[in-house]
Amino acid sequence: MINSSTYKYLNAQETPFYYYDMDLLKTSLATIKEEAARYNYHIHYAIKANANPKILSLIQAYGFGADCVSGNEIKRSIDNKFPSNQIVYAGVGKSDKEIEMALEANIFCFNCESIPEIEVINEIAKSKNKVAKIALRINPNVNANTHHYITTGIAENKFGINPWEFDQILELLTELDNIQLVGLHFHIGSQIVDLSVFKSLCLRINEIQNWFLEHQIIVDHINVGGGFGINYHKPDEEPIPDFRNYFAIFNEFLNLKAKQQVHFELGRSIVGQCGSLISRVLYVKNGINTNFAILDAGMTELLRPALYQAFHKIENLSSTDEHENYDVVGPICESSDCFGKAVSLPKTKRNDLIAIRSAGAYGEVMASNYNLRQTAKSFFSDDIQI
Ligand SMILES: *Cc1c(COP(=O)(O)O)cnc(C)c1O
């Protein structure tokens, strides 16, 4: 993935830092745009996956909208030129202040997650003489077969409105003058690699649409959320997820009514593979079963392994020696600060440059200053002068 001049450039920087392959991001965006255009699908980029302004500007330039989960994400999207009429806003805990600013910005749609939230949005919209466009975020009770921390669409989750609340909601909507129902929204989890899960989602959406149809309601759009996974084990073999087959599933199984639009909220599948966390080996320390390679990057730069035992491919960019096993760990004072156990790497020594791959999504955005760590910088392939 990295040629010798790029290596030289990276090796001259102070570690740790994020490195983004902007060519890969461009190719991914062009692919998504082309594949989505076959069916006239609308794409909103899930800002929470990576909110780096340089990455946002590029994504925005391809004409995608934004999917936000906080007021500051709405602000960041607008600052980076995402048109406000292409911004959707989800989240179980929208504060009054956030709702106010979203109304002021005239966003496309609030994805509402509870009855009390709809009532509060109505109240605030009324005070501003506005009508809020909303979609109901429905919990379809479809299991995403992914890590339980990133499953969001089964009955026990905090997300979304459950079908047994539909009657009450319809009654409520007839009473609220400052709410306009424009869509149905679903998002069942993240890192979903089994495409049959999306087929199950479509079939469930069809049933739910039928219920609304029986109650004389046809919404303008169906938002199927995001969640499409990436190949963490083989990032170079599958740098771009199979968007053609992904969109084809929805085209095949989702029953649409006349003029109904389909919206997607893609995060990880857009930015996941373009980013790597680059770090340096501080020490190699002998352990009982394997040796420890102690890096200068830790859970403060990339939290996913500590947070949900996520796998990231680890590469030694400086060595081509024979392989040995290492527990690759960070410097933070937590035992969970570990990027991988018994990782096979070429013989590793102090100052070797290490790449932790597929870190473009939920990497930089989750960084913290725990242990009073410095915030890591980011570098972009198109800034490198060769
Ligand atoms: C996180 C999130 C997404 C994006 O999920 P990915 O797995 O990164 O595609 C989309 N929609 C909502 C509501 C989310 O919370």
Q: Quote the pTM value.
A: 0.96
The pLDDT of residue 384? 83
From the CB of 43, is ligand 1 less than 6 Å away? no
From the CB of 306, is ligand 1 less than 6 Å away? no
CB-CB contact of 219 with 263 (8 Å): no
119 assigned to a ligand binding site: no
Q: Which residues are catalytic?
A: 333
From the CB of 227, is ligand 1 less than 6 Å away? yes
pLDDT (tens digit per residue) in 201-258: 999 999 999 999 999 999 999 999 999 999 999 999 999 999 999 999 999 999 999 8
Comma-separated ranges of CATH 2.40.37.10 domains in the chain: 4-16+273-383
* Ranges in the chain, pLDDT < 50: none
From the CB of 73, is ligand 1 less than 6 Å away? no
User: How many angstroms separate the alpha carbon of residue 44 from the centre of ligand 1?
Assistant: 10
User: How many angstroms separate the alpha carbon of residue 129 from the centre of ligand 1?
Assistant: 31
Comma-separated ranges of CATH 3.20.20.10 domains in the chain: 23-271
Cβ-count burial of 213 within 10 angstroms (0-12 exposed, 13-18 middle, 19+ buried)?
A: exposed
Amino acid at 288: I
Which class would CATH give 23-271?
Answer: alpha beta
What CATH number labels 4-16+273-383?
Answer: 2.40.37.10
The pLDDT of residue 151? 65
User: How many angstroms separate the alpha carbon of residue 227 from the centre of ligand 1?
Assistant: 6
Residue with tokens 């429905």: 138
User: How many angstroms separate the alpha carbon of residue 266 from the centre of ligand 1?
Assistant: 6
**Cβ contacts of 149 within 8 Å, gap of 6 or more:** 307, 308
pLDDT (tens digit per residue) in 145-184: 766 666 666 666 788 999 999 999 999 999 999 999 999 9
Atom of ligand 1 nearest to the CA of 69: 15
Q: Which residue among 89, 146, 186, 187 is best mutated to probe the pocket of ligand 1, counting the most ligand atoms within 8 A of its Cβ?
A: 187
- DSSP string for 166-223: HHHHHHHHHH-TTEEEEEEE---BS-B--THHHHHHHHHHHHHHHHHHHTT---SEEE
Distance CA 249, CA 369 (A): 42
From the CB of 113, is ligand 1 less than 6 Å away? no
Distance CA 294, CA 272 (A): 24
